Amino acid sequence: MPRFELNDTDVVVIVGSGAGGGTMANELTRRGLKVVLFEAGKRQSLATFSQNPSEAFAQLTWLEPRSQSGTWDPVKNSPTLPAWHCRTVGGTTVHWTAATPRLQPYELRARSVYGDIPGASLADWPIDYDELKRWYQVAEKRLGVTRRNGNPGLPASNNFKVMHAGARRLGYKRVHTNYMAINSRARDGRGFCIQQGFCAQGCKTGAKWSTLYTEIPQAEASGRLDLRSECFVTRIEHDDAGRASGVVYRDAAGVEQRQRARIVCVAGNAIETARLLLLSESGRFRQGLANGSDQVGRNYCHHVLSFVFGIFDQPVSFWRGAVLAGVVEDENIHDPRRGFAGGYHLELAMLDLPTLPLIGLPYGWGRDYASIIDNYRNMAGMLVNGEDLPRADNRITLSTTRKDAYGLPVAHIHCDPHANDVAMRAHATGQGRKIYESVGAKRTVVSSIPPATHQMGTARMSHDPAQGVTNAHGRAHEVPNLFMSDGSVQTTAGAANPTLTIVALALRQAEYIGREAAGGRL
């Protein structure tokens, strides 16, 4: 692997090696560009993944405590971990559950379709759906998404069969084993899913797509990738003309270093992306880099999430099978007669036993909790994944109370759910309960809102520079060689799990950067 000079002004710096950053690294090196890829976490492998959930959590998770405020459940239930994502080479794609639905056309026009909803900061995306669809098709081929391009769907697990039977009884029609970035047959030099259900601990067969063992090794093979793991970027610098000129980082030994750059792409997962821009304030960018609009960190979206469990007389063994391989798509529509704008998915889900009481159950220890756990074998589970509305004050700022190991303020998360989110959650969990009750559940249990696993919107794309941070290519409105390459650019959340969209937009952005760089315009 090459090691580029710290003063090499020709390299592209990418911050973060997950869905967005890992994809960018592969695409840019393929186009002949030299890339330095910074990753704060360590590198693991199929061999080092632990299938012990607690060990895996410690191995992969971004554990630095954050501060938070607001009325959102995770503020009180999960005080140091309101948002759950990874800090490891491959980012959260090591640990994700790989559901890859597309956004729907109406979701890109949320402001026009839903109207001006008080308390929400809706905007339309600056991209046409047909354009995004073209990149979805490229991304789906890259990820080997099931039920697309002739890839078979994953097999139906017991958990899915229960959900499917109940959903059909309720009259739902679009019920299937989901679009999954998991090999249903061997492809791309990787094996197929053996249905062992450890997706969130790191897939030891490599059947699940992760940049750790797809995009990053391909970029390394190009001879143009310098991957610096355990290196934490603390600041993006700029020159007198206001162009990004490089980054300051702490290397694996904690020593401060400075890497110069021609282009900087930030893909730290939307919370850390916003934090890094805010940490990079300067005399010229007093509110944070690229933040003249004061939109950096605002409009933080994380989806309307809840688990719904059904407890049955017979065993379901819901831990067997790919975790999210099932979906009811019928509610992913905009139908205000339901009492809210936007739509949601009901997706299959299970929680391993150690995680269930942490994020999946609304109760403390006691008799009732014990009776639920007694029935673990007989539980079926699903996850509500719905569109939450952006709000100007749901935002990431720099904490005034907590600092990281280098003395830098950690991210502070403020979140108050919009009334629309509350109404959607009530509807969706109600439908979830009905699904299980229709096939004989003796009890249903709804979780409180778990920590956010999908982070979006904190540096959103906008037509109008005053309403966002980047243009339709994820290029900062104010800094011409600074790009955001992760979920922070989503103008609105939609109801689709975000990663397919992140990859599609990264592929599109890489083509743009490659073209502009080749033409000498970047």
Ligand X SMILES: Cc1cc2nc3c(=O)[nH]c(=O)nc-3n(C[C@H](O)[C@H](O)[C@H](O)COP(=O)(O)OP(=O)(O)OC[C@H]3O[C@@H](n4cnc5c(N)ncnc54)[C@H](O)[C@@H]3O)c2cc1C
- Name the residue nearer to ligand X (CB basis): 347 or 421: 347
Alpha carbons within 13 A on the beta-carbon side of 215: 30
- Name the residue nearer to ligand X (CB basis): 98 or 504: 98
- Name the residue nearer to ligand X (CB basis): 348 or 439: 348
Torsion angle (degrees, nearest 10) of CA 16, 19, 22, 23 = -140
From CA 389, how far away is CA 107, in angstroms rounded? 11
What is the length of the chain? 522
Residue 112 CB coordination number (10 Å) = 11
For position 205 contacting ligand SF4 by CB under 6 A, the verdict is yes
State the Cα angle at 489 between 487 and 494, rounded to 5°. Answer: 70
For position 415 contacting ligand SF4 by CB under 6 A, the verdict is no
Question: CB of 197: closest distance to ligand SF4 in angstroms?
Answer: 5
Question: CB of 320: closest distance to ligand SF4 in angstroms?
Answer: 9
The option from ligand SF4, ligand X, none interacting with 139 (CB < 5 to 8 A, set by class) reads: none
CB 61 within 8 A of CB 94: no
Structure tokens belonging to residue 339: 């009492």
Candidate ranges 199-207, 218-226, 253-261, 437-445; the one touching ligand SF4 (CB under 6 A): 199-207
Among 103, 175, 301, 322, binds ligand SF4 (CB under 6 A): 322
Structure tokens belonging to residue 373: 């756990």
Backbone angle region of 254, left / alpha / beta, with phi > 0 → left and psi within -120 to 50 → alpha: left
Q: Which of 378, 442, 443, 437 is nearest to 170 (CA)?
A: 437
Among 24, 145, 181, 182, binds ligand SF4 (CB under 6 A): 182
Residue with tokens 């299970």: 350
Structure tokens belonging to residue 429: 């969990």
Size of the site for ligand SF4 (CB under 6 A): 13
Among 125, 160, 198, 436, binds ligand SF4 (CB under 6 A): 198
Among 77, 137, 158, 196, binds ligand SF4 (CB under 6 A): 196
Q: What residues pair up with 99 in beta bridges, in sequence order?
A: 180
The DSSP letter of residue 32 is: T
The option from ligand SF4, ligand X, none interacting with 198 (CB < 5 to 8 A, set by class) reads: ligand SF4
- Name the residue nearer to ligand X (CB basis): 111 or 345: 345
Question: CB of 119: closest distance to ligand X in angstroms?
Answer: 25
Percentage helix, strand, coil, to 5, in the chain? 30, 20, 50
- Name the residue nearer to ligand SF4 (CB basis): 207 or 289: 207
The option from ligand SF4, ligand X, none interacting with 200 (CB < 5 to 8 A, set by class) reads: ligand X
For position 199 contacting ligand SF4 by CB under 6 A, the verdict is yes
Q: Which of 31, 506, 21, 22 is nearest to 216 (CA)?
A: 22
Q: Which of 381, 387, 382, 380 is nearest to 425 (CA)?
A: 387
Residue with tokens 């990004």: 244
Among 11, 108, 193, 267, binds ligand SF4 (CB under 6 A): 193
For position 207 contacting ligand SF4 by CB under 6 A, the verdict is yes
Residues that bind ligand X (CB under 6 A): 15-21, 38-41, 84-88, 91-93, 95-100, 200, 232-233, 267-269, 272, 276, 324, 453-454, 486-487, 497-499, 502
Question: CB of 153: closest distance to ligand SF4 in angstroms?
Answer: 13
Question: CB of 182: closest distance to ligand SF4 in angstroms?
Answer: 4
- Name the residue nearer to ligand SF4 (CB basis): 108 or 182: 182
Residue 268 has φ and ψ, to the nearest 5°, of -95, 10
The option from ligand X, ligand SF4, none interacting with 203 (CB < 5 to 8 A, set by class) reads: ligand SF4
CB 325 within 8 A of CB 154: yes
Helix ranges, 318-418 (H): 367-374
The option from ligand SF4, ligand X, none interacting with 50 (CB < 5 to 8 A, set by class) reads: none
Interface with ligand SF4 (CB under 6 A)? 182, 193-199, 203, 205, 207-208, 322
